[in-house]
Chain A
């Protein structure tokens, strides 16, 4: 953290988006995380993504639970809605919020503790429902807020700053989400914004549950020699399989790609993502082959990143339930609550 807030002065040549806002307008309060925390870089990437997507701040809802990661929604888009919930309960609160107002864009920021330990049940059921949200896990393998104990995502053999190496199997959020049928699954690294920003943009526009697992090193408790989630280790073991170039529907696709290595994904809302394969054996639309590839690479000690799986055909929660298009929160009371007589009729149908 710093004693002074980031000065309001900005570069006069700063670009403006379609709303006439600069990226500075999407900032939040000054971060109180440790200097060099990966989470602050994720925050900066989120700011960049929502700025570039021309998102109106009041159409965004920032959701979080407890932990270092869950503090970060305070650090971006101050004008957006926000809910800082109980530990591990962010998915339920988001489900409720989304049920009431499907028009908002939901961005949940969680950590490996919040999502893979106390909140793992919530996490898996949000995926099952295909809740329309962007779920970010700031994954650093330790509980930073309680001084660096291993979390459920710590790899076998990873060393703490002091004491014994971890012996327990890690929960990999990407494979977990893949097995549960999540429809947009990506992994990235806080130190690689060129990759992370387009992944976040795709995740925000995807209809349904999108998971972005971000290796976000804990600079205080897990950035030493022997850690498998340090800045240095992540860079050394980085396996970047798919590049994402997000393209606005209004913009022509001008970049040229060699045949075979480009892949166009049409999103629900009419937007387009262009994927560029770095490893052209990888197929991000096949769950089975993705799963196999990830396991092989994991066993080889690599951290596979990029857009690892995408499925635009599955319906999200509201579509599955056949809900009206108008958000429930905006329905007039007499439509939302047709009264005792209607309820009695409905119940009679079940008799």
Chain B
């Protein structure tokens, strides 16, 4: 193998699994260390730089970082990254003087943002400090989009939303509530320099089976949740069936329990392991005694005398292939399940009835606009998409990242620059050595197990719709949990010319990830390392030829716990522990046009 090119920022970035897994590339280990030091405000600002809504995401993020966490590979349960984000948000001081300030004079460019959800708000957050005149059009009478209408208050209190959205609006955003855009053509005819569409995927999927329209007690999940959020719906029958087993279904079943239902069943077409819902959302629903019935495929709504009495299901049986895929299944029987109400939570579609089809914007077969994944611009110049409206339903953190990228594009577009010519990611490395055996971080491996989020008592929580179930980590839990982070951003950096091949690092490595051996091609090399290197998703870090024997140092990045022992045992300093800071460019960095073309990484906050 060739020596690993560590000048490419992606190499060390990938080692920080959580940061690499996060669409917005939040520097997770860095903020966890700040939380560990009690620097909650700094931790909050570190988060805000990349993900803009730490308080919201600290509660309801889809957490792509957690399944990616190295700890999963080392001992099964990831660090409770999301919970620690909430710790930073809950305990921060007033941050208003640390927020970016809009300039005293605007730059004369006007940008229209459609929808007051997380995508549009991120664009506003990035463009207002550059002096753009930003207008947000929102159909409802309140901000937040699906974050407010579809996530129940017992998971995400309105106060948290109001605060974090307020930080952005207070930069001088022109917010037009109750202002539904009925025609994009009409908007484009107005005097805007750019338009950003962040209107989400607002159409809940329907279930066209017999009986669907014979009762008024069959609801579309996201519409029903919205009605609950706006206080239009205040009760539901005792027996409720939820169709579908995604995250919306979990919100629907738990909301039902708070509106008077006592017997809530979630009906899954497939077996466990093939559910769309996140594991932790399933857990929380099952804790509330929601029953999940698997292998039930909806067949018919049964309505007698105009009253919904239940549903018929086909009982299914599936085969799981060797590749882990499930087949279409076969029907083995039929079952009737009585109920008073049914909520359909089987997915969402994009819908743009207000976008004329002759504006130069292409749509695919799923009604999704054709949007460039890097620039977020569609076929019509100056029109950008982000969030669920761009590529179909994803999640908040993806919407935020779309917003950051769209803001860069909008800025470059408005300034007449090439929107494809964007700043690359950058990388800083900084040694963390403080003394002979001292490092600037807590390097010892802590075997503590993942802390469990304390919840409001099961009886108490159903009394009102807005009692937040999760209480947040206690100080004791926080202290334990932060130590579980393996500090993957403190990189093991090797300098081949200093190595005397004494084997000290190889001998001391607790997870046997180091080998000094003759070079070879990757597949062959992986077979003869100190311990099997079977996870090909994780890179091998290969050195230049070593001075004494022309062998190479090979590190399997897979299970390294970043304990620093290799560097402590190295007599010549060939190994060093260096903090990698990934410099993620934001619109503010692009705006420094006269500066050299590197991202500052720290300026976006």
Contact = CB atoms under 8 A, between A and B. Distances in A.
Interface of A: 1-4, 6-14, 24, 34-38, 40-41, 43-44, 190-191, 193, 217, 219, 223, 231-232, 235
Interface in B188-231: none
Interface in B408-443: 437-438, 443
Interface stretch (B121-129, B134-142, B506-514): B506-514
Contacts of B506: 44
A7 B532 contact: no
Interface string B497-513: 00011111011101111
Nearest first, the 3 A-B pairs at minimum CB distance are: A36-B571, A7-B445, A44-B507
A217 B559 contact: no
Interface of B: 74-75, 437-438, 443-445, 447, 500-504, 506-508, 510-513, 531-532, 534, 548-549, 559, 561, 563, 565, 568-572
B492 to A, nearest CB: 15
A350 to B, nearest CB: 56
Given A7-B510, A10-B512, A11-B511, A193 B447 contact: no
A8 B447 contact: yes
A191 B501 contact: yes
A219 B571 contact: yes
Contacts of B565: 2, 4, 6
Nearest to B75: A9
Interface of chain A, helix or strand or loop or mixed?
A: loop
B74 A35 contact: no
Interface of chain B, helix or strand or loop or mixed?
A: loop
Nearest to B511: A11
Nearest to B507: A44
A3 B559 contact: no
A35 B571 contact: yes
Contacts of B503: 40-41, 44, 190-191, 193
Contacts of B549: 235
Given A10-B510, A41-B507, A231-B502, A4 B443 contact: yes
Contacts of B569: 2, 35-36, 40
Nearest to B556: A11
A11 B556 CA distance: 11
Given A7-B445, A7-B563, A13 B534 contact: yes
Nearest to B548: A235
Contacts of B512: 10-11, 14
Contacts of B510: 6-10, 24
Contact of B500 (A4, A6, A36, A43): A36
Given A9-B447, A14-B531, A2 B504 contact: no
Contacts of B445: 7-9
Q: Which of B445, B507, B570 has the most CB of A within 10 A?
A: B507
11 contacts: A2-B565, A6-B508, A6-B510, A9-B510, A11-B532, A14-B512, A36-B502, A37-B504, A40-B507, A44-B506, A191-B503
Given A4-B565, A9-B445, A231 B438 contact: no
Contacts of A36: 500, 502, 504, 569-572
B501 A13 contact: no
Contacts of B504: 35-37, 40-41
Nearest to B558: A11
A231 B561 CA distance: 29
A269 to B, nearest CB: 29
A11 B437 contact: no
B13 to A, nearest CB: 24
A235 B512 CA distance: 24
B438 A41 contact: no
Contacts of A44: 503, 506-507
A62 B276 CA distance: 58
Nearest to B563: A7
A41 B502 contact: yes
B77 to A, nearest CB: 13
A190 B502 CA distance: 8
Q: Which of A12, A34, A223 has the most CB of B within 10 A?
A: A12
Q: Which of A12, A35, A217 has the most CB of B within 10 A?
A: A35
B500 A231 contact: yes
B500 A232 contact: yes
Contacts of A235: 501, 548-549
Contacts of A223: 500, 571
A9 B548 contact: no
A191 B547 CA distance: 14
Given A40-B503, A190-B502, 12 more contacts: A3-B438, A9-B74, A24-B510, A35-B504, A35-B570, A36-B569, A41-B504, A44-B506, A191-B501, A219-B502, A223-B500, A231-B500
